[in-house]
Chains A and B, each alone.
Chain A
Amino acid sequence: AQKITQTQPGMFVQEKEAVTLDCTYDTSDQSYGLFWYKQPSSGEMIFLIYQGSYDEQNATEGRYSLNFQKARKSANLVISASQLGDSAMYFCAMRGTQTGANNLFFGTGTRLTVIP
Chain B
Amino acid sequence: KAGVTQTPRYLIKTRGQQVTLSCSPISGHRSVSWYQQTPGQGLQFLFEYFSETQRNKGNFPGRFSGRQFSNSRSEMNVSTLELGDSALYLCASSLYRDSRFYTFGSGTRLTVV
Contact = CB atoms under 8 A, between A and B. Distances in A.
Contacts of A107: 42
Nearest to A37: B104
Interface stretch (A15-23, A80-88, A97-105): A97-105
A43 B56 contact: no
A111 interface: no
A102 B106 CA distance: 20
Contacts, number: 56
- Kindly state the interface size class of chain B when it binds its partner: 20 to 34
A103 B45 contact: yes
Interface residues of A, number: 22
A45 B107 CA distance: 9
Given A43-B107, A95-B99, A103 B58 contact: yes
Interface of B: 31, 33, 35, 42-45, 48, 55-56, 58, 88, 90, 92, 97-100, 102-107, 109
7 contacts: A93-B43, A95-B100, A102-B56, A103-B48, A104-B99, A104-B102, A106-B44
Interface of A: 33, 35, 37, 42-47, 50, 91, 93, 95, 101-109
